[in-house]
Amino acid sequence: MTDLEKTQIQIGYIPLLDCVAILWAKQRGFFDEVGLDITLIKEASWASLRDRLAFGFLDAAHCLSAMLPAAALGEDQLGIPLQTALVLSHNRAFISLSQKLCFELDISSQDTVQQSAEKIVSAIQQQKPVQLAHVFKQSIHHYCLREWLALADRELAQNIKLAILPPPYMVEALANQVIDGFCVGEPWNTQAELLGISQIVASSQDIIPKVADKVLAVTSEWAAQHPNTHLALTQAIQKAQQELKDLEDYAEVWQMLIDFNIIQFQCSDSIHVQKFHSIQNIIRHFVDESSQPDIEDFKWLIQQMLKWDNQISLNDALIEKISQNCILSFS
C-alpha cells in the first residue's frame, strides 16, 4: 500500500485469547504485506494500556469496547477521544467461581445463570463474605457481573463492591483466596478450571446481548493524521481474522499462543481434549459475521454506564452522538 503516513507502528495488547488476530497478522506477515513494521507491546493492565494509547506511546491497541464511550464522557479522567474501525471480539467472557465456594453453595454446572446468581446472592445476604472481580470499570465483564447478580437482586447488584484486577492476575488471586470468583475472557477461566481451583458457572452470552467486547482502538487525532496507515493496519488484521475463521489445523496458532504466554496449560488433541477444541471454536467465532463496529453496541454500553453509575445522566440524542463518534468508517 502506497502513501502510508507512518510505517513503524506500536500496538498494545493484553494477554487474552481475543488479541489472537493481531498476533496472527504479525506472525503471518500480513502487516509486512501492506508496508507496516509492527512492534507488539504487552501491557500489564487495561489502565496502563489506555493511558499509553491516549498519550501517544502506542499507535493502536487491543482495547475494551467500553473504554471508547468512557473516554468521550470523560469517565476515564483523561477525556482523550478514542475510535475504532474494527471489532476484535464479541462477548465471550465467562463467570468463574472457586470450586470451594461452588461446593459450599451447591452450585453445579447444571444450574441456570439465574439459579447460580440466586445461590450467590443468598449467601451474600446471609453475611457470607464473597469477593467477586472483573477486569475494568468500563467493560462488558463489569456489566455482565452486575446483570448476573441482578437476576437475583437488583439492589444488591447495584451496591455490591467488586474488585478490579488485570486478566492475567485473576487465576493467582483466586488460588490465593484473595477473590472468590471473577468475570474475564479466555483463556483464564480455562486455566483456573484445569488447575482445579475454579468452575465456570455462566457465560456472558447467556446474560448480556451480543455486543463488541474488544476493538482495535486509536485516538481520534491519530486516526485523522494517519488514515492510510490506519486502513492498512485494519485490513491486515481483517485478513488474519478471516484466515483464523477458515483454518482447519490450529497447531501453529496454538504454538504462537504458548510462545506469547497466553496459553499456559497442557491442552491438546490428546490432553484436555474438549477444552482444546472449545478454545479453537471460540477463536473461530470471535467475530461471526462482520468485524465492522455497530452503533447499537456503543449505545448499549453507554446505557450500562447510566444504569450502574448513578452519577451519569444523558439524553437519547447525546447517547446516539457519542456512540457514532466512537466509530470510524473508511468509506
Residue 170 sits in the same domain as residue 237 = no
Residue 116 sits in the same domain as residue 131 = yes
**Percentage of residues in the chain having pLDDT higher than 90:** 83
62's CB contacts (< 8 A; 6+ apart) are 11, 12, 13, 14, 16, 18, 19, 22, 49, 88, 214, 216
| Inside any domain, residue 330 | no
Residue 313 sits in the same domain as residue 165 = no
Residue 81 sits in the same domain as residue 230 = yes
Give per-residue pLDDT as tens, 180-208: 999 999 999 999 999 999 999 999 999 99
Residue 218 sits in the same domain as residue 303 = yes
Q: How many CB atoms lie within 10 A of CB 80?
A: 17
Over residues 285-310, the mean pLDDT reads: 90
pLDDT score of 2: 62
| Inside any domain, residue 331 | no
Residue 137 sits in the same domain as residue 201 = yes
* Residue 283 buriedness (CB in 10 A; 0-12 / 13-18 / 19+): buried
| Inside any domain, residue 263 | yes
**Percentage of residues in the chain having pLDDT higher than 70:** 98
**Longest Cα–Cα distance in the chain:** 65
Residue found by looking up cell 477463536 in the block: 283
| Inside any domain, residue 168 | yes
| Inside any domain, residue 1 | no
Residue 170 sits in the same domain as residue 224 = no
The secondary structure element, H or E, covering residue 182 is strand 181-185
Does residue 52 sit in helix, strand or coil?
A: helix
Count of structural domains within the chain: 2
CATH (domain of 245)? 3.40.190.10
- Last residue of one domain, picked from the residues 206, 224, 241: 206
Closest CA to 190 of 65, 283, 285: 283
pLDDT band at 297 (very low <50, low <70, confident <90, very high): very high
- pLDDT surpasses 70 at 74: yes
- Last residue of one domain, picked from the residues 206, 224, 243: 206
Over residues 272-284, the mean pLDDT reads: 89
pLDDT score of 173: 97
| Inside any domain, residue 2 | no
Residue 201 sits in the same domain as residue 216 = no
- Last residue of one domain, picked from the residues 206, 238, 262: 206
- Per the structure, the complete domain to which residue 142 belongs is given by 93-206
Q: Are 130 and 180 in contact (CB under 8 A)?
A: yes
- Rounded CA gap, 265 and 273, in Å? 12
Range picked from 11-15, 263-267, 321-325 for highest mean pLDDT? 11-15
Residue 308 sits in the same domain as residue 229 = yes
pLDDT score of 76: 65
Residue 137 sits in the same domain as residue 233 = no
Residue 227 sits in the same domain as residue 83 = yes
Over residues 106-110, the mean pLDDT reads: 93
Residue 81 sits in the same domain as residue 104 = no
